Amino acid sequence: MPLAFWVHDLDPFFIKFTENFGIRYYGLAYLAGFLTASGLLLLYHRCGRSPYGLNTITDLMTAIVFGVLLGGRLGYFLLYQIDLLRSDPLGILRVWEGGMASHGGFIGVLLALWWWARRHQVSTLHVADLVVTTAPAGLLFGRVANFINGELVGRVSTAPWAVIFPHNEIDRGLRSALPRHPSQLYNATLEGVLLLAYMQWRFWRSTAVRDQPGRLSGEFLIAYAIVRMIGEQFREPDASLVFGLSRGSFYSIFLVIAGVYLVARTRRPAATR
């Protein structure tokens, strides 16, 4: 047992103009994720691995931004806070109070890509394959922002690196907050660093984007679901369990099903797809 655990005292504001208004690290995390994705897509084009140039990428990223924000916000209430939505429907508009869901964001991006692809008369799966290779960067920045905010805390732990989050909602009302796993950083490593490395390796070392549309999208969904389930083992569930699983793990099952379908689809002869 360590003599003392580190007490989380990070300020969620990068710059504070008033007590409750300013530039938050969470907002900067989204900005960093979108800029990184744009930079990678531009690099793909310059290296001859993508037909989409700067103007097209700007248009594509605009659609993705709306997909992430709308899908993530709606997903948070529909998947995690349905009772709150029923009792206070206008709460969904109070974005400054926080509340986003990655699974909802995935659905939002999927719909945005489908709309964008139809508008430009290109393959949805081909565009999706390009986008998913950049997505883990946004997950990385987002999870680091979760840690800075002291939210989505981990389960109680006596590990030497455990952290006390004195203002988290779970321990609120107790005489003293309990040391917990810094599960946000675990997820940043798994969903961000590890998944980004894998997706970049697959993109640059294979011709899947060109020859097997949908393959990388399927692999991303499966890989994300696996690392998310691993991370959920260290995270305090932020909603009631479903069949004994945290909601994050339960919803990830559907990502595995979708991912397996996409991967299996690429193995069939082109004429039968």
* pLDDT of res. 273: 45
Q: Measured between alpha carbons, how far is 110 from 60 in angstroms, rounded to an integer?
A: 12
Q: Which residues of the chain have pLDDT under 70?
A: 1-3, 95-98, 173-175, 268-273
Q: Measured between alpha carbons, how far is 77 from 108 in angstroms, rounded to an integer?
A: 14
Answer yes or no: are the C-beta atoms of 238 and 251 closer than 8 Å. no
**Tally: H helices and E strands in the chain:** 11, 5
In a domain, 213, yes or no: yes
Q: Measured between alpha carbons, how far is 244 from 48 in angstroms, rounded to an integer?
A: 47
* pLDDT of res. 241: 84
* pLDDT of res. 272: 41
How many residues are given for the chain?
Answer: 273
* pLDDT of res. 149: 93
Count of domains for the chain: 1
Q: Which domain holds residue 116?
A: 6-272
Q: Which two tokens stand for residue 139?
A: 């997950």
* pLDDT of res. 76: 86
* pLDDT of res. 268: 62
Predicted structure pTM score: 0.90
In a domain, 125, yes or no: yes
In a domain, 1, yes or no: no
